[in-house]
């Protein structure tokens, strides 16, 4: 997609994005998402991502996101613990090792730089 556009994030239809089994700490979280824009070189990605309740680990990219709905606690190894909910803007840095405890199904709009 190269042109300007608008997307209603709460109603966006998302596709399954399976988690690697080793990322799941507890529960049965399911991830869905949709890339809405990607730069030609693939180094910038914009999209919508959702995860159902549970606990998962991840190694982050350089990301800015805004929570649309739901809530989670994100523990950054060697850093802060972030509590996020609707309307919150958060920044994660490339290489951050995180543990996400998702309390309510969380949907976010994101911008990632690779």
Find the Cα–Cα–Cα–Cα dihedral 98, 102, 106, 109, rounded to 10°. -10
Which pTM value belongs to this model? 0.95
Residue 1 reports pLDDT greater than 80: no
| CA distances, 78 to each of 81, 96, 98, 99, 114 (Å) | 9, 9, 10, 12, 22
Give percent helix, percent strand, percent coil of the chain, each to the nearest 5: 5, 60, 35
Q: Which residues pair with 102 in a beta bridge?
A: 54, 72
Measured distance CA(35)–CA(44) in Å, rounded: 11
pLDDT tens readout for residues 26-85: 999 999 999 999 999 999 999 999 999 999 999 999 999 999 999 999 999 999 999 999
């Amino acid at each position: 997609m190269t042109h300007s556009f608008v997307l209603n994030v709460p109603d966006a239809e998302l596709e399954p994005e399976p988690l690697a089994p080793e990322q799941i700490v507890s529960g049965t979280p399911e991830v869905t998402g949709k890339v809405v824009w990607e730069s030609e070189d693939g180094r910038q990605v914009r999209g919508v991502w959702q995860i159902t309740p549970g606990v998962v680990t991840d190694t982050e990219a350089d990301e800015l996101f805004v929570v649309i709905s739901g809530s989670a606690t994100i523990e950054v190894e060697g850093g802060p613990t972030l509590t996020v909910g609707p309307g919150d803007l958060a920044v994660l840095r490339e290489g951050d090792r995180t543990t996400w405890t998702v309390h309510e199904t969380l949907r976010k709009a994101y911008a990632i730089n690779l």
